[in-house]
Structure 1
Amino acid sequence: MFRRQADGLDLIGAVKTLDVLILDEADRLLDLGFEASINTILGYLPKQRRTGLFSATQTQEVENLLRAGLRNPVRITVKEKGVAATSTQKTPTRLQNYYLVCKPDEKFNYLVSFLRQKKKEKHLVFFSTCACVEYYGKALETFVKNVKVMSIHGKMKHKRNRIFTEFRKLESGILVCTDVMARGIDIPEVNWVLQYDPPSNASAFVHRCGRTARIGNQGNALVFLLPMEESYVNFLSINQKCPLQEMDDFKCTVDHLPKLQTMAKSDRAMFERGMKAFVSYVQAYSKHECNLIFRVKDLDFCALARGFALLKMPRMPELRGKDFSDFVPMPIDTDSIPYKDKNREKQRQKMLLERKQKQDGESRKNFAKNKSWSKQKVKKEKKKKMALKRKHEEGSDIDDEDLNELLHDTRLLKKLKKGKITEEEFEKRLTTAGRSEGGSDASE
C-alpha cells in the first residue's frame, strides 16, 4: 500500500502525522518472515511516535525488532491481580491446564467419550493439519449426537467468517480447527480447549490455551499426549512457564473405531479423508520444532493407522521399509468403495471407464509389440533363406534338399501373412524335422 502511489494512494503522506503504531502478535509476524517488510514500513513512519508491540509470548526476535525500530524501549509484563510479581507462570490461574496420556489407537475413543460427557459446554478442538480437521470434523458429527459440530481451517476462504460468527453465538458446541484459531480470536465463554495434536511450536501451546479463561472467566485446557511424548509436560513447564496436571481419573471403555471404519467402507469421501489425514499428520509430525520429543522415527505407525481407522496403509516415503505386521488391513477392494454423493460417484465411474479404455488401448499396443517379436523372427528366417537362394544362384554348393526347405518355409510365410495359418502353426511347421509336410505344401 505504501508503494501504490501510482494508483492515487498517498499513504506516505498520510502517515506523516502518525502518533501511535501498534503491532499485534508481534512474535508471529516475525515467524512468518515479515521482519524485512516491517522494517521497511518503519522507515516510512515518523521517528517521533509511540510504538506498542503485543503478544502473549515474547521472543528474542521481538527484542531485536525493538532495537531496530524503537528508541528507549520499555518492556511491560501484565500480571493478573492478586498474583505475586515474582510468579513466573505465563498462563492465568483461572485456567486449569491438564494433559492425558493415551496410546495412538485409543486417542479418538478418549476424545469422543470426553465430548459426549460435556455436551452442554463449548469446545475448541485443535488438530495439526487441515486434512485432520476435515476428517475428524466429519467423524465427530456422527459420534457426538445432538451437538453442533463445526470445522474451520486455513484453506477455507469464503466460509471462515460465517462459521466463526455462527460459532461465537452458540451457547454450546464443538469447533474443530487448526492454529488459524490460535491467535487474535475472541470467542465468548469457551469452556474447554482440547489439543488433540500438540502444536508444532511451544508458543502456540500458550496461544491455544488463551482461547479460554478470558476476561476474568474460568477455563480449562487439555492436551492429548502419546506415551513417548510425556516429557513434553516438563518442557512446557520450563520453556513456557506453563504447568500442567495429569487427568488420570478419566477412563474410556468404548471402542468407536470399528464404526469409523464402517463409515470409510460405505463412503469413499470418508475413506479418502482418513488417508489424507494420516499422511498429513505424519508429515507435520516430522517437521515438529521440538523434535527431541516428537520424533517421527519413534511413532508406532501400525497403532497410529488403527487410531485413524484406516482400511489399509497408505504409500508414502516416511513408511518405506517399515514393518506393518501388527496392522491388519480390511479384506476389501478399496477401489470398489463408492461415493455417497451420487454426482461424485457418477463422475468417478466415468473416469474409471476412460482409464480402462486407455489401458485397453495400451494393451493392444503392447500386444502388437509382442506380435512384432515373432515377425522379427520370421524376418530373420526370410533373410536366411534369401541368402541361401543367392548362394544357389551364384553357383554355390547348396543341394536340392536345402532348396526344397527354402521353398517350404517361403510358402509357410505367405500363408501366415494371408492369415491362413496362425503364428503357433507357423512355428510348429517351421521347426518340424521331417520334410514330408513340405511335400504336401508343394502339392498344394
Structure 2
Amino acid sequence: MVNKLWSKVEPPLSEPVLNCIKKQEFSSMTPIQAAVIPLILTCKDVVAEAVTGSGKTLAFVVPMLEMLLKRQRLEGPLRKDSIYAVVISPTRELATQIFKVIEQFLQEPELAHFTLSILVGGRSIDVDAESLKKGSQIAVCTPGRLMDLLTERKNLNLPGKMKELEFLVLDEADRLLDLGFHGTLAAILQYLPRQRRTGLFSATQTKELQDLVRAGLRNPVVVSVKEKSTISTPILLENYYVIVEPQDKFLFLLNFIRNRKMVKGLFFLPTCACVDYWAHVLPGFLPDKKIFAIHGKMKNNRSKILESFRNADNTILLCTDLLARGLDIPEVEWVLQWEPPTSPSALVHRVGRTARGGAAGCSLLPLLPSEDTYVPFIKTNQLVELKDWRQSRDEIKISEKLRDKVLSLLHEQQLKDRATYEKGIRAFVSHIRAYSKHECNLLLRLAQLPLGHIATSYGLLRLPKMPEITQEHRDQFIGPKEPIDFTKLPYKDKKREFFRQKRLEDLKEAGGAAKLKNKSKKKMVQTKPWAQAKLNKEERKEKKKKRKEQKQKVVAAGKKRGKKRRAVTAEEIAELAEDVALIKKLKKRKITEEQFDKAFDTDK
C-alpha cells in the first residue's frame, strides 16, 4: 500500500505517478519529500537540506514529472526537440542512479512518451550529441559534459533546445562546489532561461552554496529537515571508532572483515593509488570474498564495476571519496575507513552510504593513538558521535605471530611481482601526501605520524626516498629479513619484464647508472617537505601578484603621460630588407667581404 501521505499531497499527484510509486514500492513518504514536493508543485524555488539517505531523489523526480504532465495538459504534446527538465549531479555514478530512478517512472504507460537521456563523461561526446538530436525532454548530466555540449557543439544548438526549460535540479550541490564546478555552474546558468523552477538539494550548507543560491534561484524557500537535533546522520546508523597502533591497522581491519559475514561493505581509502594497491593485495588474504575497486582515475569501467558490486554478495568495494555522495545500495551493512577524510564534512557523507531508507547500518573508523582528539572534534564540528568499539576486545589485540605471518605474506606478494612493490610505494607516498593536506591539520599532524610503522603496515620492502622520513622512522620500519637485490626484482607481466631487462642492458652498455648520472648536466636538488614546499609556493604566488600589480601601475602611468612608440616608416623597412639580402649573399659567398663592406659603406 502507498502511504496515505502520497495521496494527500497538495496539489494532488496524478494517477500515473501514484501508480508508479505503488508499483516500485516507494511506500513511505519521508519528511524531506513531504516538505519539498508541495512547494515545487506550487512553483517555488527550493533549497533543501537533509541528512544523506533521506529520499532527496524522489523529492525532485516526482514534482518534475508532475510539472511536465501539467504543461502537457495545458499546451498539448511537448516538443520532441526541446529539453524541459535538467538534473545536474557531481559524478557519473550518481547521475546514472538518478537516471535509473526516472527510468522506473517512465515505464508507466501514461509517462512512457517522455524522452530521457544521460549526459556524462567517460564516453564519446558524440554519443550524447546523438541522443540529444533524437530528442531528450529530461536530461540527467554531469556539469563538465553539459558545458562541453553547450559550448563546443554549436551545430547541436543546445541553448536553443533549453529555451522551454521548466525545471532545473542541482543535486548534491555542495559536492558540485567541492569538486571545483563553481565557475562551470555559473556559466551553465547563463545559458538557461530565467523563467524556470530550480531545486537545490544538499546534505550540508556552506558559504559557497549560499553564493550559488543567490546567483541561480529567485526568492527560494529554504527547507532543512533533520531527524534529530543532536546528530547529522540517520538515527539507525551506529558510528564506531577504535584506537589501533599504526603498524597493526591493516591487521585489525583484516581480522574485522574476516570475523563478519557482511553481505556488502564499503572500504574508503585516502587516494586512488591506495585503492589500486589494496585491491591488488587483499584478494590473497580474503579468498572467500569478492573484492571490487573504484576511484576517480578509472574512466571507462566504473559503471560496470558498480553494477557488479550491486549484484554480488559477500563482497567489499574499495573506493575513494568519489563514492561518498549519493550512492544508494540498500544492502551495504558496514562502512569501513582507513583514516579520517581530508574534509570533516566528508565523514558524514561516507558513513551515510549505509543505514539508508530506514535500514540499520554501522561504520568504523580506526584512529592512531595520536589522533584520539578527532573524536570530540567531529562531534562538535559535524554532530557525529563516534562510539568506542569495545564489543570484541580480541580483535584489537594483535599477536606477534599473526603480525609476522601477514607481513611475510605482503613481502612475498611484492617479491613475486615488481608491479605490486611499485603500487605499494605509490600508495604509501600518496597516502602521506594526502594526510599533509588535512583541513583539521591542527589535530591530525603529519609531524606526529610514525612513518616507519605505517610503511610496515603497507608491507613495503623498503622505505621510499622522501624528505619527511628521518632516522627515527628508519628505525621503526620492519622490512624483509633477507637482503634484496632490487635490480633482480621481476615483473610478473612478461612484456614489462622484457623491457625492464632491455633497459638494464642499455644501462650496462652505457657504463652503468652511476656513469650516466655523472654525465648528466642536471644538478641534484634536495627536495623539501611538502608543508614547506606549500608555503614556498604561496610566497611565489604573492610575489608574482605584486610584480603584476606593479607592472600594471607602470603601464597605466605611461598611458597617462601619453607616451607612444614611433611608427616605423616604409623606407626604413625597405632599407632593412636590403641589408638582410646582403648578409644572405655574403653567407652563400655570392659576394666578397670587400663588396659587402663597400655596400654597407664601412671601413675595416
TM-score, shorter chain, exceeding 0.5 = yes
Counterpart of 1:37 in 2: which secondary structure?
helix
Look up the match of 2:525. Answer: none
Q: Is contact 1:202-1:236 (8 Å) kept?
A: yes
2:214 to 44, 64, 67: 67
Matching residue of 1:347 = 499
Deviation by residue 1:358-381 (Cα, 9 ceiling, x = unmatched): 2259969x99xxxxxxxxxxxxxx
Matched, 1:267 2:421: no
Aligned to 1:381: none
In structure 2, relative to structure 1, the CA distance for the partners of 1:18 and 1:325 (3 Å cut) is same
| 2:310 maps to amino acid | R
Deviation at 1:126, TM superposition (A): 0.6
| Aligned residue type for 2:367 | L
Letter in 2 for 1:13: G
Amino acid of the residue matched to residue 159 of structure 2? I
Alignment of 1:242 with 2:381, yes or no, is: no
Kindly provide the amino acid, as one letter, of the partner of residue 450 in structure 2: D
Alpha-carbon separation, structure 2, partners of 1:148 and 1:361: 43
Distance 1:323 1:245, change over 3 A: closer
Other structure's SS at 2:363 match: strand
What is the CA–CA distance in structure 2 between the aligned matches of 1:119 and 1:284, rounded to whole Å? Answer: 31
Counterpart Cα distance in 2 of 1:40 and 1:363: 55
Residue in 2 aligned with 1:11? 158
Q: Distance in 1 between matches of 2:276 and 2:332?
A: 22
Aligned residue number for residue 433 of structure 1: none
8 A Cα contact 1:126 1:196, kept in partner: yes
1:203 aligns with 2:345: yes
Is the contact between residue 119 and residue 147 of structure 1 (CA under 8 Å) also seen in structure 2? Answer: no
CA distance in 1, matches of 2:187, 2:275: 37
CA distance in 1, matches of 2:380, 2:203: 16
TM-score (norm 1): 0.76
- Give the TM-score normalised by the residue count of structure 2: 0.57
Say if 1:21 and 1:49, in contact at 8 Å, map to a contact too.
yes
Identify the match of residue 290 of structure 2 among 145, 148, 170. Answer: 148
Give the equivalent residue in structure 2 for 1:50.
Answer: 197
Structure 2, unmatched stretches of 5+, are 1-146, 520-604
Q: How far off is 1:180 after superposition?
A: 1.4
The Cα offsets for residues 291-348 of structure 1, whole Å up to 9 and x where unpaired, read as: 1112111111111111111121100233267652232443222222212233322222
CA distance in 1, matches of 2:439, 2:287: 36
Distance 1:360 1:341, change over 3 A: closer
Are residues 1:117 and 2:264 paired? no
- Contact kept, 8 Å, 2:330 with 2:355, in 1: the verdict is no
Q: How many angstroms apart in 2 are the aligned matches of 1:129 and 1:152? A: 11
In the TM superposition, what is the alpha-carbon distance from 1:281 to its structure 2 partner? 0.7
Tell me which amino acid in the other structure corresponds to 1:174: I
For residues 143 and 361 of structure 1, what CA distance do their matches in structure 2 show? 38
- Picking from 312, 326, 333, the partner of 2:476 is 326
1:168–1:188: 8 Å Cα contact kept in structure 2? no
**1:22 partnered with 2:139:** no
One-letter code of the match for 2:458?
F
Q: 1:193 touches 1:211 (CA, 8 Å); kept in 2?
A: yes
* RMSD (Å), alpha carbons: 2.4
For 1:106, what is the secondary structure of its paired residue? helix
C-alpha contact (below 8 Å) 2:456/2:479 kept by paired residues: no
Aligned to 2:511: 359
Partner of 2:371: 229
Unaligned ranges ≥5, structure 1: 368-444
Change (3 A) 1:119 1:258: farther
Residue 3 of structure 1: CA displacement?
4.6
Report 1:28-427 matches (<5 A): 28-80=175-227, 83=228, 87-250=229-392, 251-252=394-395, 253=398, 254-255=402-403, 256-319=406-469, 323-330=473-480, 331-359=483-511
Amino acid at match of 1:65: L
Q: Is the 8 A contact 2:295 2:320 kept in 1?
A: yes
The change in CA–CA distance for 1:221 and 1:361 in structure 2 (over 3 A counts) is: closer
Letter in 2 for 1:55: S
Change beyond 3 A, Cα 1:119–1:343:
farther
With over 3 angstroms needed to count, the CA separation of the structure-2 counterparts of 1:257 and 1:45, relative to structure 1, is same
* Farther off after superposition, 319-328 or 273-282: 319-328
Match of 2:74 in 1: none
Contact 2:233 2:348 in 1 (8 A): yes
Partner of 2:459, secondary structure, is: coil
The letter of the residue matching 1:98 is Y
The one-letter amino acid of 1:28's match is R
Which secondary structure state, in structure 2, belongs to the residue aligned with residue 318 of structure 1? coil
Contact 1:97–1:222 (CA<8 Å) still a contact in 2? yes
1:181: how far off?
1.3
Q: Is the 8 A contact 2:450 2:473 kept in 1?
A: no
User: Which gives a bigger RCO, structure 1 or 2 (Cα 8 Å, sep 6+)?
Assistant: 1
Judged with a 3 Å threshold, the aligned counterparts in structure 2 of structure 1 residues 47 and 316 are, in CA distance, closer, same or farther, namely same
Superposition deviation, residue 173 in structure 1: 0.3
Hey, what's the Cα distance between the residues in 2 that align with 1:116 and 1:360?
Answer: 48
Q: Secondary structure at the match of 2:385?
A: coil
Q: Quick one: structure 1 residues 213 and 120, their matched pair in 2 at CA, closer, same or farther if it must change by over 3 Å?
A: closer
Q: How many residues align?
A: 362
Cα deviation, 1:2-25, whole Å, max 9, x if unaligned, reads: 754873222222222222111011
> 1:119–1:173: 8 Å Cα contact kept in structure 2?
no
Equivalent pair of 2:267/2:316 in contact (CA under 8 Å) = yes
Going from structure 1 to structure 2, the CA distance change for 1:90 and 1:335 (only over 3 Å counts) comes to same
Partner residue, 1:372: none
Percent of aligned pairs sharing the same letter: 48
